[in-house]
Structure 1
Amino acid sequence: MIKILIVDDHAIVRSGLRTLINANNGMEVIGEAADGDEGIAKALSLVPDVVLMDLSMPHGKDGLTATSELKKLLPACSILVLTMHDDDEYLFRAIHAGASGYILKNTPHEELINAIQTIAQGDAYLYPTATKRLMSEYLDRAKHGESSSTFNSLSEREKEILSWIAKGYSNKEIAEHLIISVKTVESHKSNLMEKLNLKTRPELVKFAMKKGLLNFE
């Protein structure tokens, strides 16, 4: 029996998921939580096999932070991110935080059940279009050659700012953290984009993840 904990701030979503999951032999919802803090507490108490984790929860810890903390506290627990965000940045950050799978809320019911079964067995699960994008990104990088020398050409300050950008901080927030001007941050960001031949924030997130610059501690 696969024991499942649902973490989502919408009661109607939790109710629907509970009904859907409990209708399948071999799995059971053993608890619910409305935010990341409650989710962590319930997981430590109930020790589920799988946690269905929403990302956007306005109160308490968000899904990414809760996922990162929960994986440190319960390494054997598999976390399936269930979200409406069909976005590369969220996808990569969820994987780096420790999620075993990522699936959209508009996914057919049978696909959700399959995803739960997959990660409960210790495997990873990504919805089909996400897998395609990851493969496309990998092949594109392999084709054009993402050399380590490019990364090594960055200054320590540029690597530091890259890390902050990838974590989702604004230019103003980065400037406040590093006690420098917003204009200086913008200048470093421009240099980063040019050196790395990247054009968007999601691309920066993927690059930073590959280089181990994302840290949710």
Structure 2
Amino acid sequence: MYNGEIFTLSQSPKNIQLLKHVSGLLNLKVNTSANSLTAWHTPQQIPKILFHFLNDVHGELGQIDSGLLSAGKHIAICESLSMEDELTLIKHGFSGATKACSPAHAIVQMLDNVLEGNLFFSLSALSHYIQTQQQPAKASERHALFQGITKKEKEVLSFICKGLSNSEAANKMNVSINTIKMHLQNIYKKTDCKSRGQLLVKYNQI
């Protein structure tokens, strides 16, 4: 169970009902206040996830303020979802996406994965993105990326690049999930990455 908050800019009764249903199973709160946008931009310790209900991924992503995407985690609920749509969402820093017709338990599974620090996209989309976005880093480039990273952070990075979740990495290192999250935040800052996906791409691993 988690302690976090879910937001959406689409305040339709149907969407709010869906979010309340899936959030209740994970002990999350749905922010339905009139000033939810202000709350979204207010720094807080608990996880924040913004749900985007998109009819047309390519058409609507361009209308989203980049400042909105710079905070918290983002999930897309799409009327249709092609691999091209998934690739676009990954490039924009989204943590997961699924179709609007997906059953509630599938959305709960996605939300659970995202809260654990994992990406939730099709394997084909993730593989394609990593293979096409960046060539393998040269030894000198890898050395530069590792500069300033501590021994513990390198250990966390190694587990993450092998596909382990935060909880699995925590079990391997015999530490708490919060400790893993703290190391990850430090790694993001030192490698100039904003998400787990960018980190995986930078090291050309999945």
TM-score by length of 2: 0.49
Greater C-alpha Rg: 1
TM-score by length of 1: 0.47
**Whose relative contact order is higher, 1 or 2, with alpha carbons under 8 Å and at least 6 apart?**
2
